[in-house]
Chains A and B, each alone.
Chain A
Amino acid sequence: MRIETDKDLCCGAGTCVLAAPAVFDQNDEDGTVILLDAAPGAEQRAAVMEAAERCPTAAIRIV
């Protein structure tokens, strides 16, 4: 699984950090997404799917 995030779309809601804290973080300056792990293991799959689905601006893509 590989993840891409779109910083321009990101509104800094931080929903992804709630869903998958091992994969996503928030920038302290503007709240936007920081991708901690662009290719996480299978054990993160469910959490990452939830983060992508819940992202209010669809700024997370699983490729």
Chain B
Amino acid sequence: MTQSRESENRSARPFPTARPSGCPFDPPAPFAEAREECPVTPLRYPDGHLGRLVTGLQSARAVLGDVRFSSLPAGKRSPVKVPGSELSTDALPAGMFVNMDPPEHTRYRRLLSKHFTLRRVRELRPRIQEMTDRLLDNTESSGGPVDLVEAFAKPLPMLVTSELLGLPEEDRAPFGHHVDVLFSLSSSGEEMQQSMVLLAGMLHALINAARKEPGPDILGRLTVETELTDEELLGITTVLLIAGLETTTHMLALGTYALLRHPEQLAALRADWSLMDDAVEELLRYLSVVQIGPIRVAAEDFEFEGQSIRKGEVVTVSLPAANRDPQGFEDPDTFDIRRGTTRHVAFGSGPHQCMGHHLARLELSIGYESLLRRFPRLELAVPAQDIGTREMMVTYGVPKLPVRW
């Protein structure tokens, strides 16, 4: 439906972030209202910019697959003020391929994809199982209760990523600290800037070390097999870190929480572990932890699904909303590990779709299953209403998950 500019201006909503009270797994209610009107609706950005919000599954796929909706940083803005969103993007290192369009984007993606193919990722299974078991040994011997975020959901993706990048053991703690600061609600802009600089310094040192003595890890192989510059490698490793740590951590913790809050589903899974892959897909769909963006900027004026898109308009896709679209999923607000659908967009869509999705799925399925098998009586150690949520962060989740067994 075509609306006049004025009526779009009048009807533009702000981007909602508040989760319905008592339903920490449901997206903010205004998304469903917007989607009922139209899968693409006017959106008001914090600085007054009039852009668009995408809440429908098919529209989300169409926007993310259409290169006229550009990924270049120029003009991009966040639909909400989140920590770090005010930081300048002018000085992004080369190689930040998430902020590129084809064909530049394609060049980087082709160089990296070989390390994330289904075959390569499946070879990692025994190592990831080993790391998981060791973490659970430590957790179990502590006797509990523990905060599952700190004890398990943070360290597992960190161990996996460290191994992929060849990060030495002694660097992992400071590395983890800086990543924490970058992704914490309580960090100031100044602290974030400082951690960004220190993290870049550590990554530079890592790249230098890989050039001198290339290991079998991804970074080592990139230094040997490609012509990528140090600056490009810095951008690439930064992207791999940002993409691989936070998302997996919060899927592990929030996913465990969701299972604990749906005891009949958890019992079904415990009774039949062959449901694990379907359970992972349903958790990805139902929780959709990437809650702000992907964000695109219209590169030209064009017609899209009957609407006049103007050059420079900022378009924000809501993955949680798209994954609850009744046009795409029957009874979309019901959590059902037997749903057996993989049509969700939890990893995005289009040329920028998460490159690490096979790895994420593997970490999640090993993580959930090993945790639940190790602790047959796993339960919350505090009342559910005491579990907080991360509403004003790019990645949704729980800041703490106290559990006992």
Contacts and interface: CB of A to CB of B under 8 A. Distances in A.
Interface of A: 11-15, 17-19, 26-32, 50, 53-54, 56-58
Given A13-B355, A50-B342, A58-B65, A26 B117 contact: yes
A12 B118 contact: no
Nearest to A30: B110
B106 interface: yes
Contact of B118 (A14, A50, A54): A14
A11 B358 CA distance: 14
Contacts of B65: 56-58
Given A13-B357, A30-B111, A56 B117 contact: no
A15 B353 CA distance: 10
B319 to A, nearest CB: 13
A56 B350 contact: yes
Contact of B351 (A11, A17, A27, A53): A11
A56 B352 CA distance: 8
Contacts of B349: 56
Interface of B: 64-65, 106, 109-111, 113-114, 116-119, 342-343, 348-355, 357-358
Nearest to B106: A11
Contacts of B110: 12, 30-32
Nearest to B121: A14
A33 to B, nearest CB: 11
Contacts of A11: 106, 109, 113, 350-353
List 7 A-B pairs, minimum CB-CB distance, nearest first: A31-B113, A12-B113, A56-B353, A30-B110, A26-B117, A11-B351, A14-B118
Nearest to B61: A56
A57 B349 CA distance: 7
Contacts of B113: 11-14, 26, 30-32
Contacts of B353: 11, 13, 56-57
Contact of A31 (B117, B350, B351, B352): B117
A26 B121 CA distance: 12
Contacts of A14: 113, 116-118, 358
Nearest to B357: A13
B342 A30 contact: no
A53 B349 CA distance: 11
A18 B343 CA distance: 13
B114 A29 contact: yes
Nearest to B342: A54
Given A13-B353, A31-B113, A56-B350, 14 more contacts: A11-B106, A12-B117, A13-B354, A14-B116, A14-B117, A26-B119, A29-B114, A30-B110, A31-B116, A31-B117, A32-B110, A54-B343, A56-B65, A57-B65
B64 to A, nearest CB: 8
A19 to B, nearest CB: 8
A43 to B, nearest CB: 19
A32 to B, nearest CB: 7
A18 B119 contact: no
